[in-house]
Protein backbone atom coordinates (compact mmCIF):
# COMPACT_ATOMS: atom_id res chain seq x y z
CA UNK A 1 0.00 0.00 0.00
CA UNK A 2 1.23 3.44 -0.93
CA UNK A 3 0.81 6.54 1.23
CA UNK A 4 -0.73 9.79 -0.03
CA UNK A 5 -0.33 12.78 2.27
CA UNK A 6 -3.32 15.13 2.36
CA UNK A 7 -2.37 18.53 3.71
CA UNK A 8 -3.48 22.14 3.61
CA UNK A 9 -3.86 25.24 5.71
CA UNK A 10 -6.66 26.58 7.89
CA UNK A 11 -10.02 26.68 6.17
CA UNK A 12 -8.83 24.80 3.10
CA UNK A 13 -11.32 21.99 3.68
CA UNK A 14 -9.08 18.98 4.34
CA UNK A 15 -11.74 17.35 6.50
CA UNK A 16 -14.34 17.65 3.74
CA UNK A 17 -11.93 16.06 1.26
CA UNK A 18 -11.19 13.29 3.75
CA UNK A 19 -14.92 12.65 4.12
CA UNK A 20 -15.24 12.27 0.35
CA UNK A 21 -12.38 9.79 0.30
CA UNK A 22 -13.78 7.77 3.20
CA UNK A 23 -17.13 7.59 1.39
CA UNK A 24 -15.27 5.97 -1.50
CA UNK A 25 -13.66 3.37 0.75
CA UNK A 26 -10.24 5.00 0.96
CA UNK A 27 -8.62 4.50 4.40
CA UNK A 28 -7.83 7.91 5.94
CA UNK A 29 -5.56 8.42 8.96
CA UNK A 30 -6.65 11.66 10.67
CA UNK A 31 -3.47 12.63 12.49
CA UNK A 32 -5.22 15.08 14.85
CA UNK A 33 -7.78 12.62 16.19
CA UNK A 34 -5.32 9.72 16.20
CA UNK A 35 -2.80 11.76 18.21
CA UNK A 36 -5.47 12.65 20.76
CA UNK A 37 -6.50 9.01 21.08
CA UNK A 38 -2.85 7.99 21.31
CA UNK A 39 -2.53 9.94 24.55
CA UNK A 40 -5.33 7.78 25.97
CA UNK A 41 -4.05 4.53 24.48
CA UNK A 42 -0.42 5.00 25.49
CA UNK A 43 -0.12 6.16 29.14
CA UNK A 44 3.66 5.72 28.94
CA UNK A 45 3.78 8.52 26.38
CA UNK A 46 2.08 10.87 28.84
CA UNK A 47 4.50 9.69 31.54
CA UNK A 48 7.43 10.70 29.35
CA UNK A 49 5.84 14.08 28.63
CA UNK A 50 5.42 14.72 32.36
CA UNK A 51 9.07 13.88 32.99
CA UNK A 52 10.12 16.08 30.07
CA UNK A 53 8.12 19.09 31.28
CA UNK A 54 8.66 18.47 34.98
CA UNK A 55 4.99 18.68 35.92
CA UNK A 56 1.84 16.58 36.08
CA UNK A 57 -0.33 16.70 32.98
CA UNK A 58 -3.27 14.49 33.93
CA UNK A 59 -6.74 15.61 34.92
CA UNK A 60 -8.83 14.22 37.78
CA UNK A 61 -9.76 11.19 35.65
CA UNK A 62 -6.15 10.40 34.86
CA UNK A 63 -6.34 11.55 31.24
CA UNK A 64 -4.05 14.05 29.58
CA UNK A 65 -5.14 17.61 30.34
CA UNK A 66 -4.74 18.95 26.81
CA UNK A 67 -5.54 22.52 27.82
CA UNK A 68 -2.75 22.50 30.41
CA UNK A 69 -0.33 20.97 27.91
CA UNK A 70 -1.21 23.61 25.31
CA UNK A 71 -0.70 26.39 27.85
CA UNK A 72 2.76 25.08 28.68
CA UNK A 73 4.13 24.46 25.22
CA UNK A 74 2.67 27.33 23.21
CA UNK A 75 4.11 29.81 25.67
CA UNK A 76 7.59 28.27 25.28
CA UNK A 77 8.92 27.36 21.80
CA UNK A 78 11.67 25.19 23.29
CA UNK A 79 9.19 23.11 25.28
CA UNK A 80 6.97 22.84 22.22
CA UNK A 81 9.85 21.54 20.12
CA UNK A 82 10.84 19.07 22.85
CA UNK A 83 7.30 17.69 23.12
CA UNK A 84 7.00 17.40 19.35
CA UNK A 85 10.31 15.50 19.24
CA UNK A 86 8.74 13.03 21.68
CA UNK A 87 5.24 12.82 20.19
CA UNK A 88 5.89 12.84 16.44
CA UNK A 89 7.84 9.55 16.38
CA UNK A 90 5.03 7.96 18.41
CA UNK A 91 2.47 9.20 15.87
CA UNK A 92 4.59 7.87 13.00
CA UNK A 93 4.79 4.46 14.68
CA UNK A 94 1.01 4.53 15.24
CA UNK A 95 0.44 5.37 11.57
CA UNK A 96 2.63 2.48 10.45
CA UNK A 97 0.74 0.07 12.71
CA UNK A 98 -2.57 1.42 11.40
CA UNK A 99 -1.44 1.11 7.79
CA UNK A 100 -0.49 -2.55 8.20
CA UNK A 101 -4.15 -3.36 8.90
CA UNK A 102 -5.31 -2.06 5.51
CA UNK A 103 -5.33 -3.77 2.16
CA UNK A 104 -6.36 -2.40 -1.25
CA UNK A 105 -10.10 -1.83 -1.49
CA UNK A 106 -12.34 -1.36 -4.49
CA UNK A 107 -13.87 1.88 -5.69
CA UNK A 108 -15.27 3.01 -9.04
CA UNK A 109 -11.89 2.76 -10.76
CA UNK A 110 -10.67 -0.52 -9.32
CA UNK A 111 -8.60 -1.37 -6.27
CA UNK A 112 -7.37 1.60 -4.24
CA UNK A 113 -3.60 1.07 -3.88
CA UNK A 114 -3.08 3.74 -1.22
CA UNK A 115 -4.02 5.02 2.21
CA UNK A 116 -4.27 8.73 3.03
CA UNK A 117 -2.45 10.46 5.87
CA UNK A 118 -4.19 13.75 6.69
CA UNK A 119 -2.09 16.35 8.51
CA UNK A 120 -1.75 20.13 8.36
CA UNK A 121 1.84 20.21 9.63
CA UNK A 122 3.41 17.04 8.30
CA UNK A 123 5.57 18.66 5.60
CA UNK A 124 7.34 20.70 8.29
CA UNK A 125 8.01 17.65 10.51
CA UNK A 126 11.35 16.03 9.53
CA UNK A 127 10.51 12.73 11.27
CA UNK A 128 7.86 12.10 8.58
CA UNK A 129 10.19 12.78 5.64
CA UNK A 130 9.97 9.94 3.14
CA UNK A 131 6.74 8.43 4.47
CA UNK A 132 4.82 9.69 1.44
CA UNK A 133 4.57 8.42 -2.10
CA UNK A 134 2.48 11.41 -3.20
CA UNK A 135 1.37 14.71 -1.62
CA UNK A 136 -1.95 16.46 -2.27
CA UNK A 137 -2.38 20.04 -1.06
CA UNK A 138 -5.94 21.23 -0.48
CA UNK A 139 -6.18 24.95 -1.13
CA UNK A 140 -8.70 27.75 -1.59
CA UNK A 141 -8.66 31.51 -1.99
CA UNK A 142 -7.49 33.33 1.12
CA UNK A 143 -10.83 35.08 1.59
CA UNK A 144 -12.71 31.77 1.41
CA UNK A 145 -10.36 30.15 3.90
CA UNK A 146 -10.63 33.09 6.30
CA UNK A 147 -14.43 33.05 6.16
CA UNK A 148 -14.53 29.31 6.82
CA UNK A 149 -12.05 29.55 9.70
CA UNK A 150 -13.85 32.49 11.32
CA UNK A 151 -17.21 30.73 11.10
CA UNK A 152 -15.77 27.52 12.55
CA UNK A 153 -13.83 29.11 15.42
CA UNK A 154 -16.11 32.05 16.15
CA UNK A 155 -13.24 34.46 15.48
CA UNK A 156 -13.09 37.60 13.36
CA UNK A 157 -11.85 37.66 9.77
CA UNK A 158 -8.75 39.70 10.58
CA UNK A 159 -7.56 37.19 13.18
CA UNK A 160 -8.23 34.31 10.80
CA UNK A 161 -6.26 36.03 8.04
CA UNK A 162 -3.28 36.61 10.35
CA UNK A 163 -3.13 32.94 11.25
CA UNK A 164 -3.54 31.84 7.64
CA UNK A 165 -0.68 34.09 6.52
CA UNK A 166 1.62 32.50 9.08
CA UNK A 167 1.25 29.12 7.37
CA UNK A 168 3.41 28.01 4.48
CA UNK A 169 4.02 24.81 2.52
CA UNK A 170 6.98 23.44 0.59
CA UNK A 171 5.45 23.35 -2.88
CA UNK A 172 8.41 21.42 -4.25
CA UNK A 173 7.04 18.37 -2.41
CA UNK A 174 3.45 18.77 -3.64
CA UNK A 175 2.32 16.48 -6.46
CA UNK A 176 -1.21 17.83 -6.89
CA UNK A 177 -3.27 20.80 -5.72
CA UNK A 178 -6.97 20.29 -5.06
CA UNK A 179 -8.80 23.61 -5.30
CA UNK A 180 -11.67 23.68 -2.83
CA UNK A 181 -13.25 27.09 -3.42
CA UNK A 182 -16.71 25.83 -4.31
CA UNK A 183 -19.61 24.10 -2.63
CA UNK A 184 -19.65 20.77 -0.82
CA UNK A 185 -21.84 19.46 -3.65
CA UNK A 186 -19.10 20.22 -6.20
CA UNK A 187 -16.28 18.75 -4.11
CA UNK A 188 -16.70 15.00 -4.80
CA UNK A 189 -16.09 15.47 -8.54
CA UNK A 190 -12.90 17.41 -7.80
CA UNK A 191 -11.72 14.73 -5.39
CA UNK A 192 -12.39 12.02 -7.98
CA UNK A 193 -10.48 13.93 -10.66
CA UNK A 194 -7.37 14.62 -8.55
CA UNK A 195 -7.19 11.21 -6.93
CA UNK A 196 -7.90 9.34 -10.15
CA UNK A 197 -4.78 10.93 -11.62
CA UNK A 198 -2.82 9.85 -8.56
CA UNK A 199 -4.41 6.40 -8.72
CA UNK A 200 -3.19 5.98 -12.29
CA UNK A 201 0.35 7.13 -11.42
CA UNK A 202 0.89 4.81 -8.42
Helices (H), 42-156: 43-53, 66-73, 77-100, 142-153
For residue 145, how far is the Cα from the chain centroid? 17
Helices (H), the chain: 14-23, 31-41, 43-53, 66-73, 77-100, 142-153, 157-165, 187-201
pLDDT at 197: 79
pLDDT in tens, the chain (202 residues): 889 999 998 888 899 999 999 888 889 999 999 999 999 889 899 999 999 999 999 998 888 998 899 888 888 889 999 999 999 999 999 999 999 887 766 655 566 778 999 999 999 999 999 999 999 999 988 888 888 888 887 777 888 778 877 788 889 999 999 999 888 888 999 998 898 877 766 6
The span from the CA of 121 to the CA of 143, in Å, is 21
Contact 30, 98 (CB under 8 A): no
pTM, two decimals, is: 0.86
The span from the CA of 141 to the CA of 11, in Å, is 10
Report DSSP state, residue 127.
G
- Residue count of the chain: 202
Beta bridge partners of 105: 112
The span from the CA of 31 to the CA of 40, in Å, is 14
Amino acid sequence: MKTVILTGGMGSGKSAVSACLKARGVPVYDSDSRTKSLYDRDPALVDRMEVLLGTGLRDAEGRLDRRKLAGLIFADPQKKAAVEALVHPAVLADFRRWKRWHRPKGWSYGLVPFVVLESAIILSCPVFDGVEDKVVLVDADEAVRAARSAARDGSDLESALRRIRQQSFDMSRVDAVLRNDGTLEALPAKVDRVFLNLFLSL
